[in-house]
Amino acid sequence: MRDTDTMTNDLDRLAERVEKAATLLQAQRTEHVRLQNEYDQLAARNQELEQKLQGQDPAGLLGELQGLRRERRGWQAERRDVALRIETLVTKLERIEG
């Protein structure tokens, strides 16, 4: 009788483990499908971007980027100059009012 009870318990535990494994496998399959879809979307996006960049001169783009950076630095310097002038004017106005 004990052997039968032990075998039943072992079979029950085995059945639980098989069910857990089946659930885990299904979840992994679902995740795999989701990841495959995401991969396909990213691959398509990558292909699209590569096609947009084809025929463009990397050196030209780099030169344009450097030019934009110089222009940005110029605007930042001008902005600092204007801020300094405003600060000076505010200080003068405060002296006049004070």
d(CA 7, CA 13): 10
Digit-by-digit pLDDT tens for the chain (98 residues) are 567 778 788 888 889 999 999 999 999 999 999 999 999 999 999 999 888 888 788 888 889 999 999 999 999 999 999 999 999 999 988 888 87
d(CA 96, CA 98): 6
Supply φ then ψ for residue 48, to 5 degrees. Answer: -60, -45
Q: pLDDT of 63-91, one tens digit each?
A: 999 999 999 999 999 999 999 999 999 99
Q: Give me 34's structure tokens.
A: 């989701």
